A = this chain, B = another copy of it.
Amino acid sequence: MTPSLGRSANGSPPTLADVAERAGVSRQTVSNAVNNPDLLRADTLARVQLAIDELGYLPNRAARNLRTRASHLIGLRILPAQEGTANATMDRFVHSLVEASREAGYHVLLFTGDPTDPVAGYDDLLRSTAVDAFVVTDTYLGNPQAAWLAGRRAPFVAFGRPWDDPGADHPWVDVDGAAGAELATKHLIGRGHERIAWLGWRKDSFIGEDRRSGWTRAMRAHGFATTGLASRTEDTVASGREASAVLLDEAVPSAFVCASDTLAMGVLHTLAERGLHPGRDVAVVGFDDSMVAQLVPPGLTSVRQPLEEVAVMVVRALEGLLSHPPRRADDVLLTPALTVRGSS
């Protein structure tokens, strides 16, 4: 009787030796059949392949990892989800990264760490050679992990520019936030708005200032005033609500461009309180195209980051770093798109 697929007689998965015996060749020949098929004569390859299929053989990962000094695993640290915000960007990115990695033959290993220690978790994975490389996502607020990883000579690619260290020599992929905000502002200008307010993050956020510059650029290009029309606050609904209420009272904008969907939802709250209708009375554009933007009536126009593309480029850069010899991929700055909905 044929052993059941994927299990040899002793109950554990078949090994190279099992296949070799069945095909009547040496173990090395089986290894070559798997890794360098063109080295084998056609009939030998066919015989080995048959045995492989019959046994359902797949190389043992641990053994292969040990020998090749590679795990084909990519580490990604995820932070606890922020309740009460629309920040699902990371979750969307995780999906995209898993997909893109798979196509390159990698799996994604998720880990967490003490949120107060930006480097926690990386160290152990690195020292135990559990992953081949990392994808680093939270490059904002002067995060030390890029420098730390670089110091350890750990291969990694960043999703996000090295804002505070332009000389950093790791590859990165980012989305042009200024272009996104500019797109949003121009869209509103095209709809006839002139008094367009900016609702953004506090000044110490590089990403926030970058996005804000897109708004400024579009406004200036059309000769519209920006004075008194900008507000910087925390990334919470409550802050967005308060800030938009103040702006409405003091600057009377007819439209808002926001640094996040969370802040945009704050604007919607203010409008709801005042009996104003988004899109009809006041236009609102958010940033990130979160599920909230898609679902809230009448739909929130929002800047959408091309995370699928980001993931593909990140993996491409990773492949470069992990090839022999290592290649450093060019940095990539992608342009977001605008998803127009009822709120504008």
Contact = CB atoms under 8 A, between A and B. Distances in A.
A126 interface: yes
Interface in A84-133: 84-86, 88, 91-92, 94-95, 98-99, 102, 107-112, 123-124, 126-130
A265 interface: yes
A71 interface: yes
Contacts of A126: 6, 13
Contact of A109 (B63, B84, B109, B123): B109
Contacts of A186: none
Contacts of A88: 88, 91, 291
Contacts of A333: none
Contacts of A273: 297
A129 B6 contact: no
A94 B90 CA distance: 12
Copies in the complex: 2
A78 B95 CA distance: 7
Contacts of A85: 291, 295
Given A108-B110, A262-B295, A91 B83 contact: no
Contact of A13 (B94, B127, B269): B127
A211 B316 CA distance: 45
Interface residues of A, number: 60
Among A57, A102, A262, A291, find the residue whose CB has the most chain B CB atoms closer than 10 A. A291
Given A65-B65, A99-B112, A107 B130 contact: yes
Nearest to A241: B297
5 contacts: A13-B126, A61-B71, A62-B69, A63-B66, A269-B298
Interface of A: 6, 12-13, 56-63, 65-66, 69, 71, 73, 78, 80-81, 83-86, 88, 91-92, 94-95, 98-99, 102, 107-112, 123-124, 126-130, 152, 237, 262, 265, 268-269, 272-273, 290-292, 294-298
Given A84-B291, A107-B109, A109-B110, 7 more contacts: A62-B69, A78-B98, A80-B99, A85-B295, A98-B112, A99-B112, A102-B112
